[in-house]
Amino acid sequence: MKCIILAAGKGVRLLPITESRPKHIIPVGGVPLIERIVESLRANNIQDLFIVVGYKKRAIIEYLDDIIKHSTKIKYIEQDEPLGTADSIKLARDYVGKEDFMVIYGDLFIRPRTIERIISEYHKGKESIIGIKTSKKIGDYGIVNTENGYIKGIIEKPTRKVKRTNSINTGIYILNKDVFDGIEETERSIRGEYELTSSLNIAVQHNVKIRAVSLDEEEWMDIGYPWDLFDANERALNYIKHNIEGAVENNVSMIGPVILEKDAKILSGSRIEGPVFVGRNSILGPNCYLRPYTSIGKNVRIGSSCEVKNSIIMDGTKIPHLSYIGDSIIGTECNLGAGTITGNVRMDNKTVKVRIKNNFIDSNLRKLGAIIGDKVKTSINVNFMPGVKVGSNALIGPNIVVYEDILSREKLLLEQKFTRKKI
């Protein structure tokens, strides 16, 4: 079976993490989302892949070409304008032929058993399939109405409460060529896109049967907001097995599963509480403390007396000494000065809200630190309040408490006035 992976979107809600990368190659548990999808497909003997790319397409192409073995056939299809999921599939029409094919959104966290379940259900009747899941957050997804196990219609991102169902579209399908007739009739939505869900509604109106298959909680997760990455990272790390390929000095304490990749080092006096992932060529310590659900990328330096908890630290970042990073996402090649602290709990103990596209969105998390883009530099004694975002290439001077979001390439300095008197 052939598969179309939709990986052309920008991921605006994930800014500033997506300023310099497409959301599909954001790492969780040390592995980019799209790599997990490709490996899940390969584990189920799906080797013929068509990946629709658009925003920062070279990053996806170069990454996958570097890691994928020749046993997998990948064809990249370029979507020049972000015209929606139906347009993406239409671009792949000539490649999939007349056989039934799979479609999967490229920004999902899935495991091999997710694909296994979809394929298993398909083989029971060789009918079109849509994966669904129950959710309370219906406003961010397509709401699927079903009858006798088949879809009756999909309401995409409803602006009002839908009482009939709490089943959402997971973005995993097996479809036949009849869907292209629906795509040809699809008009732009109120969001200005040609949406696959609209095409499926048209297909259903033309008596095309699409069976709904429920996925388990652990089988699927959508990455829509920055804080979703913590949940995905936790799920990924829950399945790791203890594997030490790097060097561990004397007087290091490790509890629980830890992956330490080749050429990484843990220096004396450090304590690592797994599950934790540490990428190649990274150096931890001496005397640092990594707490559970921390993912460290390649070429990262975590120095003396630093504590990192439930965070994603991307490649090339340096946190040399005397800092605390909690419940935070730090982009690539950042350099955090001594005494950098990420506050992750509000004083009133309420859940943390984050500004997303000029609106404050409730993360529903009581603990949430900073979300920091690539190549950010802080001087000594910089404090971040819960939920603030910092754009890429920002510079933050010494002794500053960051209460509000900082834009990309913005320089923040604290002006001081001294009074000098002789004594």
pLDDT of residue 70: 60
C-alpha to C-alpha distance for 354 and 360, rounded to whole angstroms: 5
HEC string for 183-224: HHHCCCCCCCCCCHHHHHHHHHHCCCCEEEEECCHHHEEECC
> Do 142 and 240 sit in the same domain of this protein?
no
> Do 209 and 246 sit in the same domain of this protein?
no
> Do 261 and 142 sit in the same domain of this protein?
no
The number of CA neighbours under 13 Å toward the Cβ of 84 is 18
> Do 179 and 246 sit in the same domain of this protein?
no
Give me the catalytic one of 123, 206, 242, 321. Answer: 321
State the 10-residue block means of pLDDT for the chain, 423 residues long: 94 95 96 95 92 94 80 86 90 89 95 93 91 76 84 76 72 92 88 88 90 86 94 95 97 97 97 97 97 98 97 97 97 97 95 94 96 98 97 97 97 91 91
Q: Provide the 3-class DSSP secondary structure of residue 88.
A: helix
C-alpha to C-alpha distance for 73 and 47, rounded to whole angstroms: 6
Of 224, 255, 280, which residue sits at a domain end? Answer: 224
> Do 112 and 145 sit in the same domain of this protein?
yes
C-alpha to C-alpha distance for 35 and 278, rounded to whole angstroms: 18
pLDDT of residue 158: 65
**Dihedral through CA 214, CA 218, CA 222, CA 226, nearest 10?**
160
Q: Is the preceding peptide bond at 320 cis, omega within 30 degrees of 0? A: no
pLDDT of residue 164: 56
pLDDT of residue 417: 86
> Do 141 and 202 sit in the same domain of this protein?
yes
Could you tell me how far CA 299 lies from the centroid of its own chain? 21
CATH label of the domain that carries residue 76: 3.90.550.10
pLDDT of residue 165: 65
In a domain, 362, yes or no: yes
C-alpha to C-alpha distance for 256 and 261, rounded to whole angstroms: 16
Please indicate whether residue 321 is annotated as part of the active site.
Answer: yes
> Do 326 and 374 sit in the same domain of this protein?
yes
> Do 139 and 112 sit in the same domain of this protein?
yes
Cβ atoms 393, 409 nearer than 8 A:
yes
> Do 327 and 349 sit in the same domain of this protein?
yes
In a domain, 243, yes or no: yes
> Do 26 and 139 sit in the same domain of this protein?
yes
In a domain, 357, yes or no: yes
| CB neighbours of residue 69 within 10 Å | 7
Of 224, 245, 271, which residue sits at a domain end? Answer: 224
In a domain, 332, yes or no: yes
C-alpha to C-alpha distance for 128 and 140, rounded to whole angstroms: 24
pTM: 0.92
Q: Provide the 3-class DSSP secondary structure of residue 362.
A: strand
C-alpha to C-alpha distance for 244 and 278, rounded to whole angstroms: 10
In a domain, 408, yes or no: yes
> Do 276 and 370 sit in the same domain of this protein?
yes
In a domain, 418, yes or no: no
> Do 330 and 356 sit in the same domain of this protein?
yes
AA identity, residue 373: G
pLDDT of residue 229: 97
Q: How many domains does the chain have?
A: 2
C-alpha to C-alpha distance for 158 and 169, rounded to whole angstroms: 12
Domain extent for 23: 2-224
In a domain, 422, yes or no: no
In a domain, 361, yes or no: yes
Could you tell me how far CA 280 lies from the centroid of its own chain? 21
Give rounded-to-5 percent helix, strand, coil for the chain. Answer: 20, 30, 50
> Between β-strands 411-412 and 395-396, what pairing exists: parallel, antiparallel or unpaired?
parallel
Find the helix or strand (DSSP H, E) in which 118 lies: helix 112-125
CATH label of the domain that carries residue 403: 2.160.10.10
State in Å, rounded, how far the first CA of the chain is from the last one.
Answer: 85
Of 189, 224, 259, which residue sits at a domain end? Answer: 224
